[in-house]
Structure 1
Amino acid sequence: MKYYELNSELKKWNDFNIYSIDGSTIQVPNSDENLEIFGTNPNQYKKDGALASVPVLYDVMNDIRIPLVIYHIQNSCIHLMSFSINSQI
């Protein structure tokens, strides 16, 4: 990630960057396009609504939140982090 290449004074633990990951689910506008792109997870009333997964990468040592891209609801947080990190390197 370019930010880390340009900022050599960032804190590390034993020369490693320490990250935590978390994800949330958000409701996006309910359109045919969004249903196709992000998917849905029917609620208790059997109603479908467009939902997206929003992963967050957090640099623990430097208190930095790294914004990532929203994804299809069925993707796991670990899978999303791997994809997001690799696409930014």
Structure 2
Amino acid sequence: MTKQAFSQLRQKIKPDAFIQLNEKYVTWFYSDDHFNKYKGYRLLSIDGSITEIPNTVNNREHFGYYHNQSDRQQARAMVCVIYDIENDTILESDIRTWKAAERDVAKDLIQRLELKGFKNDLLLIGLPSPRFSNS
């Protein structure tokens, strides 16, 4: 198989496949009680970050962009995750427009985690103070 053929086939993979695979993995991994804990709690952290993404027209239209004095537009997105520190596993994640409020994304991720019925979680949150928020 040529590199070009491989690249073309890779473009046909739907992003939902990765979401479903991760959900299946997380369900399987936590299906019994044999995972690392901190004093009986699953130790989770949540944090978000603004990152540059491939600078395509579609990405700039969907996620937004940043530009400086040079008028060069760079696509950016807000990425936020809930991460199991003791087991090196991402439980929930989301990517949104780069101007999304990090607190709102965090709330949504926590609600999604709650819907899965997880218990005994100790959540460490690294969110900026509201007066320093980029929204």
TM-score under structure 1 length normalisation:
0.66
Deviation of the 1:12 alpha carbon: 2.5
Question: Percent identity between the aligned chains?
Answer: 26
Instruction: Give the deviation of 1:70 after TM superposition.
Output: 1.8
Runs of 4+ in 1 over 4 A off after TM superposition: none
Q: Which residue of 1 aligns with 2:104?
A: 79
Structure with greater contact order relative to length (CA < 8 Å, sep ≥ 6): 1
Question: CA separation of 1:82/1:2 partners in 2, compared to 1, >3 Å: closer, same or farther?
Answer: farther
Q: Distance in 2 between matches of 1:38 and 1:16?
A: 36
| CA shift in 2, pair 1:56/1:75, >3 Å | same
Whole-angstrom distance in 1 between the partners of 2:38 and 2:60: 42
Judge conservation of contact 1:26–1:53 (CA < 8 Å) in 2.
no
- Kindly state the Cα deviation for residue 54 of structure 1 after the two structures are TM-superposed: 1.9
Q: How many residues align?
A: 88
Which of these two proteins has the greater Rg computed from alpha carbons? 2
Residue 62 of structure 2 is aligned to residue 28 of structure 1: no
Residue pairs, 1:40-51, within 5 angstroms: 40-51=65-76
TM-score under structure 2 length normalisation: 0.49
Structure 2 residue 28 is the aligned partner of structure 1 residue 13: no
Equivalent residues of 1:28, 1:52 under 8 A apart: no
**Over aligned residues, Cα RMSD in angstroms?**
2.7
1:68 partner SS? strand
Instruction: Say yes or no: does 1:59 pair with 2:103.
Output: no
Q: What secondary structure is seen at the aligned counterpart in 2 of 1:35? A: helix
Structure holding more helix per residue: 2
Amino acid at match of 2:65: T
